[in-house]
Amino acid sequence: MSKHTDNKKYRELIKYISARSSEDRFFSVTKLNKILFFSDFLAYKKIGASISGDNYHKEPFGPVPNHAEKVLKHLIKKGEMAQSIGMLGQYEQKKPVTLQEYQLDLFSPEEISIINIVLDQLEEQSATQVSDLSHKFSGWQLVNIGEDIPYHTVLLSDSEPSQEAIEYGKKLLADLEKLLADLEGAEVLASN
């Protein structure tokens, strides 16, 4: 087993999301990936750590967890999940199905709250709508196809900074420039 397929919390997260999404006619592997992404990045923003422990890379249709497919295959192999395949309009829909009860005791109340908020917000949105939403995330926009999306990009803002923030930034820059000048002066004195 790999580090991620051995991660019980990650396995239970996928089972929980799939169980909660069983009545969502748009739920699919693609939507699972986006729910994981939004849950992990929102958790990083709110509590300072992801829930799954996975990283995400940029693909043309949005962020993709690096190991969710492997974890899902492991769950299917163990008989804890299945995958139903059908059609949704003109597209093939691979829908993860939970066959075994999930365990929520591995998650903090904050983590459960974050997951539920994401599930509620994305319920009944199509994979295309959820993918389009993920394209608005600055972290996805900043990296190239195939590159990992740094978690800290969730802290970036696309709004204009206030004048107060601009002035504070200028002060920090001036302080840094002074510190660097002082350090350079100290190096010159030390070398003489």
Q: What is the pLDDT of residues 142-158, one digit of tens each?
A: 999 999 999 999 988 77
Both 100 and 149 in a single domain? yes
pTM of the predicted protein model: 0.81
Tell me which residue range forms the domain holding 59.
Answer: 8-155
Residue 55 lies in a domain: yes
Both 127 and 40 in a single domain? yes
Residue 5 has pLDDT above 60, yes or no: no
> Does residue 90 or residue 1 have the better pLDDT?
90
Residue 52 lies in a domain: yes
Residue 113 lies in a domain: yes
What is the DSSP track for 144-191? Answer: -TTSB--GGGGG---SPPPHHHHHHHHHHHHHHHHHHHHHHHHHHHHH
- pLDDT at residue 14, as a whole number: 97
